[in-house]
Amino acid sequence: MSATRKKYFARLVGRCLIFVLCILLYRVQPQSFLVLDGMNFFRQISPLHFLWLIWVADIFLQIVPIKNKVPLGSQKLFANRFKPFRGKINYKALKNYIVSTTLAAYKVFVIWCLLVAVIGILFACGVISKFALFMISVLFYVCDLICVLIWCPFRLIMKNRCCTTCRIFNWDHLMMFSPLIFMGGFFAVSLVVMSAAAWLVWELCVMMYPERFWDHSNAALQCSECTDKLCTQYCRKLRTDP
């Protein structure tokens, strides 16, 4: 198991603990969740402030170029992680690849919007509370790493080889925090806005620098060049990758 994969499993355990601790906190000290309301974020200190800081730091790491700390799948939009492929780039094939993966990506987007719409309707009808909205986001926070490390349902639509080549790798925070759209308040709005900004940076780079996102124009995305080894099947692919 690679060092990056070990770190990701440790992070998954940490996220599961956060999920459990949030439930326990609500049972023991429900007033801590008042920071979710309006501008109460600035009126009292709560353990949720630390979780907010963790989330903000995670988003920040997606919009600045970092050489080694963040997996290539998340950082491939930046020039410092681009390794030109030997020979001339087939721009027609590149365009076809970007168009096809973008169409697949927005199928995921539509499905996710429908899911979030259902959550919003349940909240508007009083079926679920603000706390439930918050916990759904925390659950998505856990599921994000399950998708990376164990099984990703989005691959059924995206048909991507692995997370490193995934077209929607940096959509994670926008998807995670989308249920918070209905909550209002600084805590929720700030996370939604920042995650939307990270998503916009990613999408703009796909349009401006498509060669960074295709493994036949960016050699760093080839299995043989992989340093993260997040994929459970990377050994087999290293043997078969051209």
Residue 22: C-alpha distances to residues 47, 102, 139, 179, 195 (Å): 9, 36, 11, 17, 21
> Residue 44 belongs to what H/E stretch?
none
List the chain domain ranges: 3-240
Q: Write the DSSP string, 122-163.
A: HHHTTSS-HHHHHHHHHHHHHHHHHHHHT--TTHHHH--SSG
pLDDT value at 239 more than 70: no
What proportions of the chain, in percent to the nearest 5, are helix, strand and coil?
70, 0, 30
Q: Is the pLDDT of residue 86 over 60?
A: yes
Summarize pLDDT for 39-55 with one digit per residue, the tens: 999 999 999 999 999 99
Q: Can you give the pTM of this predicted structure?
A: 0.92
